[in-house]
Amino acid sequence: MNPWLQAGLSLLVGLLTAGGALFGVRHAVRGNDRATEQRDLAARREEWWRRFIWAAELALDESPAKRVAGLKLLGKLAQSDLAHRDECLLLDVFQGRVLDTLLDDLPKPDEQRADR
């Protein structure tokens, strides 16, 4: 066999091997990047839920100042890009219930007149 042909074929096989290895590494890195992004998103959403629970506990507190702070925090959580449709619906219902409770706790106009 011609030595130049043998050298050319060896070079071609080497280049194909290197190209395949490069392709494999790039493909693996992209897969790892996607997995890392998914883990990061899951961690951020978990933190969002922790904050929701904290804000909900504040909104249900006996102290009016804490209730207001909790409701404001819930409003901010609703503006987060982590709050999807279901979370926004949950926030809406929850805030409505807390506000209804607050309004029920306010003295009625007749009760205010009787106190005077």
- Domain-embedded: residue 113: no
Instruction: At 92, list the tokens.
Output: 């809406």
- Domain-embedded: residue 95: yes
Question: If you count them, how many residues does the chain have?
Answer: 116
> In this model, does residue 115 exceed pLDDT 60?
no
Q: What is the pLDDT of residue 62?
A: 87
- Domain-embedded: residue 4: no
User: What are the pLDDT digits (tens) for 38-97?
Assistant: 899 999 999 999 999 999 999 888 888 898 899 899 989 989 998 889 888 888 888 888
Residue among 40, 72, 80, 36 nearest 55 (CA) = 72
Q: What is the pLDDT of residue 63?
A: 87
Three-class SS of the chain: CCHHHHHHHHHHHHHHHHHHHHHHHHHHHHHHHHHHHHHHHHHHHHHHHHHHHHHHHHHCCCCHHHHHHHHHHHHHHHCCCCCCHHHHHHHHHHHHHHHHHHHHHCCCHHHHHHHC
Q: What is the pLDDT of residue 54?
A: 94
Q: How many domains does the chain have?
A: 1
- Domain-embedded: residue 109: no
- Domain-embedded: residue 73: yes
Phi, psi of 81 (to 5 degrees): -70, -10
Q: What is the pLDDT of residue 112?
A: 56
- Domain-embedded: residue 115: no
- Domain-embedded: residue 2: no
**Domain residue limits at 59:** 11-103
Q: At a CB cut-off of 8 Å and minimum separation 6, what does 61 contact?
A: 67, 70
- Domain-embedded: residue 41: yes
User: What are the pLDDT digits (tens) for 95-114?
Assistant: 888 878 777 776 776 655 55
Residue 45 burial by Cβ neighbours in a 10 Å radius (0-12, 13-18, 19+): middle
